[in-house]
Amino acid sequence: MTKHLIEYAQASAPVRVVYDDIMHTRQVDQVNNFWKCLAAHPSTLERTWQSLKQIMGPGALDPLTKELIYVAVSVTNNCSYCIASHIAAARRAGMTDEMFGELQAVIGMANETNRLAVGYRVPLDDGFRD
Amino acid sequence: MTKHLIEYAQASAPVRVVYDDIMHTRQVDQVNNFWKCLAAHPSTLERTWQSLKQIMGPGALDPLTKELIYVAVSVTNNCSYCIASHIAAARRAGMTDEMFGELQAVIGMANETNRLAVGYRVPLDDGFRD
Amino acid sequence: MTKHLIEYAQASAPVRVVYDDIMHTRQVDQVNNFWKCLAAHPSTLERTWQSLKQIMGPGALDPLTKELIYVAVSVTNNCSYCIASHIAAARRAGMTDEMFGELQAVIGMANETNRLAVGYRVPLDDGFRD
Amino acid sequence: MTKHLIEYAQASAPVRVVYDDIMHTRQVDQVNNFWKCLAAHPSTLERTWQSLKQIMGPGALDPLTKELIYVAVSVTNNCSYCIASHIAAARRAGMTDEMFGELQAVIGMANETNRLAVGYRVPLDDGFRD
Amino acid sequence: MTKHLIEYAQASAPVRVVYDDIMHTRQVDQVNNFWKCLAAHPSTLERTWQSLKQIMGPGALDPLTKELIYVAVSVTNNCSYCIASHIAAARRAGMTDEMFGELQAVIGMANETNRLAVGYRVPLDDGFRD
Amino acid sequence: MTKHLIEYAQASAPVRVVYDDIMHTRQVDQVNNFWKCLAAHPSTLERTWQSLKQIMGPGALDPLTKELIYVAVSVTNNCSYCIASHIAAARRAGMTDEMFGELQAVIGMANETNRLAVGYRVPLDDGFRD
């Protein structure tokens, strides 16, 4: 399966620029398989990395909170690669076992009540209208 | 549509016990339509409220973080009632406009990269295995 | 919005054949808007009706069970038209209020545990392998 | 991967209480991996089991019907663990090969018509309004 | 796992008729595992193949465009078998690496903006109403 | 609901730059509500527009094909705003009624077979491996 992974040694110059920025920004010496796959279409690699770097950095929400949100979306979409990589990122950002347990409980509960609201066709409360 | 909403005045004693606990816990004088719909099946009402109360209270994750996660799941599932009610809850828990903007950006980005990881069939990195 | 609905009076002969079969099979004197929309592409109308008629008739599973399954899928997919029309069909097939309440509880629970299984990355038990 | 599975021998007393109740209720001598994973967060284990036991028992809907609904949700959500475990549970509850075939046909058809209703933006029939 | 696959040699006459038509239509000498699984329920096999043959043939949209749409749905639903088989079909129909890269980029972008539209609760423009 | 829409007259200079580019690129004299909502978080507005402009322009896939793919994703995600706006865009790019009918048929079929592949747990054919 690794035939689709573009390693640094074989990468074109524009791809290397992105790989270098990923490694420098994250202070790691390897890029994940995700980026090695996207490198097959350099404009997607470059755009995706620039967007991710802009969005996931510190702001009004701290990096750990952003990673928890990322995991919640990835679990709801059932993306196994994304779940694995963003649980790893959340742990690096400080997620403890207890936080992980509460995260899963909230994700499960939200998915349950989402379906109950839809199945019971709950009408919007006046106070919730924009 | 309001015919399915069970108001306090018409509620049975077990339903009123739940309504009272919701109003007391949240310090409000009304329960949302979600609960008035679930009241049609009292065991679901009682179980769902007990679970929600246990899960959404303070713990290793603070209440605002839990509400942001709830919004992320609800947007990904496209549940309009849940989006409206949990954006309202997140605002009460302290979500600012800037936080809301960043939340949406992370949700959007996660949904995009989830599909890229799936579409490119990215193999799991060794470091991400359990 | 009704401009997209093809009424019997304006329908072509092949569309009328399908409409007639729907009304005869279901013992009603009107077809639902779903069919009036599909009629814009007669081969889709014809194929969809033939499939639905074949699948939803009595077999190893009774019609009520099939309608409950249909509602479960429609709630999980958040299709409001499908939820409304198949709740109506389930009621005609004998679904009581208590059955409806249990149906929603199972749908909600399944959606919750689906996410827990995915989020915890539960490994398959040996006994569950094919 | 089994490092995340909490076996009975290593489980805390509160976790063993739940394991014992699962084994006693289901008349089995092992709990599934699902429960061994949830045991990492005992309150989620306890709450999830209590909810599942309450919901999936006999009621207005029989246990087999509930398992078929569970499979329909799990297939629609594409949860491979849940599909495997609830197909096994449905078989234990009496699902035959012919029932399984009809179940899959209904799930497939419902997913197809859900998208057709959404894609054609079918307006709700007056008779389907609450 | 192959125990569920019904090979030609063991197939009943009605199943062989479908297998023969698939192989003849596609000019191949084997049917995919998808069909070998569906063969467990011959009416589903027959109906699904007839529908697929009718829908995916040339029409107002060419076969390559139809396969790209099929991949887009399969990625969004996270169906790994369908992604693999329809990427293979799209390549046979003429999809180049550059087309594949653009396809993934559009799928990713659509999934991102879908969530942004939902999360921001964008009201429908007057010009978009039916 | 329009209180969340940032009109040109009230927009900040950086937002106007994006609005101007959208109107110029698309040769229209108004931006859609989607952009007026995103303008609440200017970096999301700017990034999303730049990505969309890059991705949806002509390339190895023509603009109409890209819009059809966009509709397929939006229908599968059940995003009503996105369905409406991208059906409109597809029509402007040349989608005929017959193309629309075939598009819906493929989307429906893909959603059906996706679930059949998942529900039958079809093992990957050797020829489909990467």
10-residue averages of pLDDT along chain F (130 residues):
82 98 96 98 98 96 98 98 97 97 98 98 88
Q: Which domains does chain A have, with CATH numbers?
A: 1-56 (1.20.1290.10), 58-130 (1.20.1290.10)
> Model-level pTM greater than 0.95?
yes
Which of the four pLDDT bands, split at 50, 70 and 90, describes residue B112? very high
* Contact of A111 with C111, CB cutoff 8 Å: yes
**pLDDT tens, residue by residue, D13-30:** 999 999 999 999 999 999
Residue of B nearest to E74 (CA): B119
**pLDDT tens, residue by residue, C66-98:** 999 999 999 999 999 999 999 999 999 999 999
Residue of D nearest to F105 (CA): D116
- D130 contacts on A by Cβ (under 8 Å): 121
pLDDT above 60 (res D1): no
- Give the best residue of C44, C50, C114 to mutate against chain F (max F CB count within 10 A): C44
Mean predicted lDDT score pLDDT of chain B: 95
F71 CB-side CA count, 13 A: 33
Q: Hey, how many other C-beta atoms are within 10 angstroms of the C-beta on D28?
A: 11
Residue of A nearest to E111 (CA): A77
* Contact of A73 with B114, CB cutoff 8 Å: yes
Which of the four pLDDT bands, split at 50, 70 and 90, describes residue E1? very low
The two structure tokens encoding residue C101:
């309440």
Distances in Å between the alpha carbon of D129 and those of A116, B4, B66, B113, C81?
Answer: 18, 12, 34, 38, 10
b (16+ CB within 10 A) / e for F66-93: bbbbbbbbbbbbbbbbbbbbbbbbbeeb
pLDDT at res. F130: 61
Question: Rounded CA gap, F66 and F75, in Å?
Answer: 14
F94 phi and psi angles, rounded to 5 deg = 115, 5
**pLDDT tens, residue by residue, A18-70:** 999 999 999 999 999 999 999 999 999 999 999 999 999 989 999 999 999 99
Average pLDDT over residues D53-65: 96
CA angle (D88 as vertex; D85, D93 as ends), nearest 5: 125
Which of the four pLDDT bands, split at 50, 70 and 90, describes residue B129? confident
pLDDT at res. A75: 98
pLDDT above 60 (res D2): no
Which of the four pLDDT bands, split at 50, 70 and 90, describes residue D3? low
Note whether A51 contacts F54, CB cutoff 8 Å.
no
Question: Rounded CA gap, A59 and B103, in Å?
Answer: 11
Question: Rounded CA gap, A87 and A108, in Å?
Answer: 16
pLDDT at res. B1: 40
Closest Cα partner for F37 from E108, E70, E120?
Answer: E120
pLDDT at res. F1: 40
For chain F, list the contacting chains (3+ Cβ pairs, <8 Å). Answer: A, B, C, D, E
The two structure tokens encoding residue A106:
């909230």
A3 CA to chain D: closest CA distance, Å? 26
pLDDT above 50 (res E45): yes
Interface residues on B facing C, Cβ-Cβ cutoff 8 A? 40-41, 43-44, 47-48, 77-79, 130
pLDDT at res. C32: 97
Chain pair D-F, CB pairs under 8 angstroms: 60
Percentage of chain B exceeding pLDDT 70 = 97
Distances in Å between the alpha carbon of A14 and those of A21, A27, F51, F76?
Answer: 11, 20, 18, 35
Residue of C nearest to D38 (CA): C120
pLDDT at res. C3: 61
Least confident of A100-104, C63-67, D55-59, D106-110: D55-59
Interface residues on F facing B, Cβ-Cβ cutoff 8 A? 40-41, 43-44, 47-48, 77-79, 130
Note whether E104 contacts A41, CB cutoff 8 Å.
yes
pLDDT above 50 (res C1): no
Query: Of how many residues is chain A composed?
Result: 130
**pLDDT tens, residue by residue, F98-110:** 999 999 999 999 9
Residue of D nearest to E40 (CA): D101
C23 CA to chain B: closest CA distance, Å? 28
Q: Which of F80, F108, F120 sits opposite D115 (nearest CB)?
A: F108
- D101 contacts on E by Cβ (under 8 Å): 40-41, 43-44
Q: Which of F103, F109, F121 sits opposite E61 (nearest CB)?
A: F103
